[in-house]
């Protein structure tokens, strides 16, 4: 995915719509695997991209007795979307918050999205062939390598989520770690550099004023035509 430079400069952000995404994880023969689905290339938002099942929070996802409980509504939306996009059933109460994403102000469509993780339930994945064209169980590192080879297209939140999953070898370890920490929050700012586009996150020296050249700590995704790399706040770099 190529990020238009206009996303970094638009002064009038559109409202971010609440949404939910679910990382279905299972123990595969070679280690941790996650379910990814490919959105139809005809869709206006993220057409052709490989993503985790998910979508916007609908009015019926909100509990009338707790209309302001955004996290509970996101859990129900995530579970509903898993059923609609993958044909699997998960209990909303079992969805563990993994991260929360807010897109850059200049994005033409903005979804403020909770990412959840849950063990994959028993059952066969089925996609409708309409909004969702295909599915694949894949190891996180393999998915990133496929992206580097231009075999699949990913959006930045999916890429960084896969990068964050590469350190886990099984579902139990993943759930234990994620359940014991606060979800990571990403409020994205974009900047254009000579060799690509940079997504800046809290903790990067250039985050406050959007200057990617400012000296100091780094927390960013550098999207170059030849490949992407993610620098974590602790200085480690993920570069497939």
Does this model's pTM top 0.85?
A: yes
Topology of domain 5-187 in CATH is Nucleoside Triphosphate Pyrophosphohydrolase (3.90.79)
For the chain, domain boundaries: 5-187
> Residues 109-158: pLDDT tens digits?
889 999 999 999 999 999 987 889 999 999 999 999 999 999 999 999 99
pLDDT given at position 42: 66
Distance CA 132, CA 181 (A): 32
How does pLDDT run across 154-210, given as a tens digit for each residue? 999 999 999 999 999 999 999 999 999 999 999 999 999 988 899 999 999 999 999
* Integer angstrom CA distances of residue 23 from 5, 53, 56, 149: 29, 7, 15, 23
Contact partners, residue 200, CB within 8 Å, separation at least 6: 188, 189, 190, 191, 206, 207, 210, 212, 219, 220
Helical (H) or strand (E) element with 181: none
Tokens of 28: 């595969």
Q: 66-101 pLDDT, tens per residue?
A: 888 999 999 999 999 999 999 999 999 999 999 999
The pLDDT, as a whole number, for residue 30 is 87
Q: In sequence order, what are the residues at sequence separation of 6 or more whose Cβ sits closer than 8 angstroms to the Cβ of residue 108?
A: 14
Rounded Cα gap, residues 21 and 215, in angstroms: 34
């Amino acid at each position: 995915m190529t990020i238009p430079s206009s996303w970094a400069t638009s002064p009038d952000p559109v409202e971010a719509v609440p949404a939910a995404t679910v990382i279905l994880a299972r123990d595969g023969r070679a280690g941790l695997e996650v379910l990814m689905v490919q959105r139809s290339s005809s869709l206006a938002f993220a057409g052709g991209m490989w993503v985790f099942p998910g979508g916007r929070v609908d009015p019926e996802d909100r509990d009338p007795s707790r209309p302001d409980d955004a996290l509970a509504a996101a859990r129900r939306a995530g579970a509903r979307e898993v059923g609609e996009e993958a044909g699997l059933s998960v209990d909303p109460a079992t969805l563990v918050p993994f991260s929360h994403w807010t897109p850059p102000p200049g994005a033409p469509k903005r979804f403020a999205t909770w990412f959840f993780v849950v063990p994959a339930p028993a059952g066969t994945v089925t996609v409708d062939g309409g909004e969702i064209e295909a599915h694949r169980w894949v190891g996180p590192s393999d998915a990133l390598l496929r992206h580097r080879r231009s075999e699949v297209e990913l959006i930045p939140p999916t890429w960084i989520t896969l990068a964050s999953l590469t350190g886990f070898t099984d579902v139990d370890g993943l759930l234990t770690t994620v359940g014991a920490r606060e979800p990571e929050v990403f409020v994205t700012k974009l900047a254009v550099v000579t060799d690509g586009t940079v997504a800046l996150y809290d903790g990067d020296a250039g985050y406050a004023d959007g200057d990617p050249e400012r000296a100091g700590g780094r927390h960013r995704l550098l999207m170059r035509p030849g490949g992407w790399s993610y620098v974590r706040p602790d200085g480690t770099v993920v570069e497939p």
